Amino acid sequence: MRVAMYYHNHDVRLEELPRPQIGPGEMLVEVKSCGICGSDVMEWYRRKKAPMVLGHEMCGKVAEIGERAASHYRYRTGQRVFVSHHVPCNTCRYCLRGHHTACATLQSTNFDPGGFSEYVRIPELQVDRGVYVLPDDVSFEEGTLIEPLACVLRGQRLAGVEAGDTVLVIGAGISGLLHIQLAKALGAGKIIATDINEFRLKAAERFGADAALASGDDLIGRLLEINDRRLADLVIICAGTEAVVPSALRAVDNGGSVLFFAVPSAGVQVPVPITDLWRREITLQTSYGASPADLLMALDLIRTRRLPLLPQMITHRLGLEDAGLGFRLVAEARESIKVVINP
């Protein structure tokens, strides 16, 4: 079968691998669509494991199913499915306390080989708790947005978004735009976005931001001007660079929260003015991945069209042979929002 083999962001090759063989509790999925995630182009993280087949925002059709999987889990060939690449154990201390994405099992599970291929083998643990049947009115391409939206849902739930909140989103890539759409759906008051890219600033306004500010602007001054002389109740960092952190900490209002949805490269230290934050009761919140409940909620939001502009976030649709172009588009982050590969 054909796969897109990742060596680095500017070297993704169309190669051949044997079609995976499945066991009694497993299934084989024919990939129909798979989104390129921002984490797929994090070279500092990916190159140490390369060459490899990436792709986890994957939807397809059940091509084969093992005997035990068919009888015990009641899936059948031909079903349209989204499959989660990470699943929790549901029994460890972290899962039982609601921190499913901190579970060691979740962080060690994956597909074989990856979504940028014609077929993937789904291990039994994922068959047991990571397969979601796609309703007929949800396309494969829309299904690739389930996982990124679920991650955003988890972040905003942990950060405690409330109706009427002023939300500042730093970074208007796909994650930032999903945060804008979700915050709007949850009843946020003013939603303000900032980015260095004019294409993304225009996209932020198109997808629901009340204002979109270029990063070179006087962020605090403009925020006060737009928001009745108040700072933001919630600041969401969707840019993976430490350079934005000081501005984020200055932009949050007393009693507010800063959500580190994206983080800098591994090993980078971020200075925190803890005394100032202490006096103002600022909450610093991190968020990683999505739990099964987040994924199910994301699927429901997509199915019910509660985020009506979601499909318009897909700007590029490419074949497997053009996956290299897709990776370059996402890595350069100039004129793309969501890039999907349709094998």
Superfamily of domain covering 2-134+309-341: Medium-chain alcohol dehydrogenases, catalytic domain (3.90.180.10)
Identify the DSSP state of 112: B
Quote the pLDDT of residue 233: 98
Q: What is the pLDDT of residues 95-136, one digit of tens each?
A: 999 999 999 999 999 999 999 999 999 999 999 999 999 999
DSSP sequence for 318-332: E-GGGHHHHHHHHHH
Among candidate residues 18, 19, 14, the one with its CA nearest the CA of residue 30:
19
pTM to 2 decimal places:
0.97
Mean pLDDT, residues 83-104: 98
Quote the pLDDT of residue 309: 87
SS3 assignment for 34-48: EECCHHHHCHHHHCC
> How many CA atoms lie within 13 Å of 158's alpha carbon, on the beta-carbon side?
26
Count of CB atoms within 10 A of residue 341's CB? 28
Q: What is the pLDDT of residues 286-312, one digit of tens each?
A: 999 999 999 999 999 999 999 988 899
Q: For 309-328, give one letter per residue: b (16+ CB within 10 A) or e.
A: ebeebbebebebebbbebbb
Instruction: Domain ranges for the chain, please list them.
Output: 2-134+309-341, 152-286
Of the pLDDT bands very low, low, confident and very high (cuts 50, 70, 90), residue 45 is confident
Structure tokens at 105: 């099992």
Quote the pLDDT of residue 48: 82
Distance CA 181, CA 176 (A): 9
Helices and strands, counts by H and E, the chain = 14, 15
Distance CA 71, CA 81 (A): 18
- Asked whether residue 27 carries a pLDDT value surpassing 90, the answer given is yes
CATH of 152-286, one of 3.40.50.720, 3.30.230.70, 3.40.50.12160, 2.60.40.10: 3.40.50.720
